[in-house]
Chains A and B, each alone.
Chain A
Amino acid sequence: GAVVSQHPSWVICKSGTSVKIECRSLDFQATTMFWYRQFPKQSLMLMATSNEGSKATYEQGVEKDKFLINHASLTLSTLTVTSAHPEDSSFYICSGADSNQPQHFGDGTRLSIL
């Protein structure tokens, strides 16, 4: 089946630094990738949708300048949390999809900002 790899799985960093999270589709070409945020014991909140080669579409209330998304190829999308602060600490999950596949999710990245 379709596999999406997300890296890193866990990152701890100081407040004010930027953190990049990678999402790769390993055995299919993900024309669309989605980025979600999940708070403890809650459902997934869609942050943005990105299509290869074009700008991401952000959900209402998500800061574009804070959460930079790049989808430069059909197998790679990145989320950069810029100038991270403790309130950005969360579990971030990506998914990849194409017209023939439902969304397949990465294993998530647990981000802790000190």
Chain B
Amino acid sequence: GNSVTQMEGPVTLSEEAFLTINCTYTATGYPSLFWYVQYPGEGLQLLLKATKADDKGSNKGFEATYRKETTSFHLEKGSVQVSDSAVYFCALGGLNFGNEKLTFGTGTRLTIIP
């Protein structure tokens, strides 16, 4: 079955540091891949997505590239801010976009200190 393995947290960085959160997956076929972000006490917000190999999703300075050869979708940001402190979830979905279940990673808690 499908599974997502995500970098264990928590991760603490200084403001303006470079961020990488690793995510690898196991799936049959060609899944869609997502990063969601959860701020304290809130639901999840879609951060970025990629639907096929070599696609790069990007939003708010965050990027992730769908690497089929390494089955990875690592999240990166060049210069983090305090406001980026949140929990980040990598997720895997099906071809039928929203109508299929998502498989989530365990989440990575990120704290940015000024």
Q: Mark A68-108, 1 if CB is under 8 A from B, else 0.
A: 00000000000000000000000001011111111111111
Q: Is residue A54 contacting chain B, with contact meaning CB distance below 8 A?
A: no
Find out whether the CB atom of A44 lies under 8 angstroms from the CB atom of B104: yes
Q: In the complex, what's the smallest C-beta–C-beta distance from A4 to chain B, in angstroms?
A: 8
Q: Is residue A31 contacting chain B, with contact meaning CB distance below 8 A?
A: yes
Q: Say which residue of B98, B106, B107, B109 sits within 8 Å of A103 (CB atoms).
A: B98
Contacts A43-B107, A49-B101; is A105 near B44 (CB within 8 Å)? yes
Segment of B13-21, B65-73, B75-83, B89-97 in the binding face? B89-97
Find out whether the CB atom of A108 lies under 8 angstroms from the CB atom of B104: no
Q: Is residue B43 contacting chain A, with contact meaning CB distance below 8 A?
A: yes
Q: In the complex, what's the smallest C-beta–C-beta distance from B99 to chain A, in angstroms?
A: 5
Residues of A within 8 A of B98 (CB): 32, 96-103
Residues of B within 8 A of A46 (CB): 101-102
Q: How far is the CA of A99 from the CA of B101 in the complex (A)?
A: 12
Q: In the complex, what's the smallest C-beta–C-beta distance from A64 to chain B, in angstroms?
A: 18
Q: How far is the CA of A97 from the CA of B109 in the complex (A)?
A: 26
Interface residues of B (CB under 8 A from A): 32, 34, 36, 41-46, 49, 89, 93, 96-99, 101-102, 104-107, 109
With A98-B97, A98-B99 known, 12 other A-B pairs at CB within 8 A are A32-B98, A34-B102, A41-B109, A46-B101, A93-B44, A95-B43, A97-B97, A103-B98, A105-B44, A107-B43, A108-B43, A110-B41
Q: Closest 3 A-B residue pairs measured CB to CB? A: A97-B98, A105-B43, A105-B44
21 CB-based A-B contacts, threshold 8 Å? A32-B98, A32-B99, A34-B101, A43-B104, A46-B101, A93-B43, A96-B98, A97-B99, A98-B97, A99-B96, A99-B97, A101-B98, A102-B46, A102-B49, A103-B98, A105-B36, A105-B44, A106-B43, A107-B43, A108-B41, A110-B41
Interface residues of A (CB under 8 A from B): 1, 4, 6, 31-32, 34, 41-44, 46, 49, 93, 95-108, 110
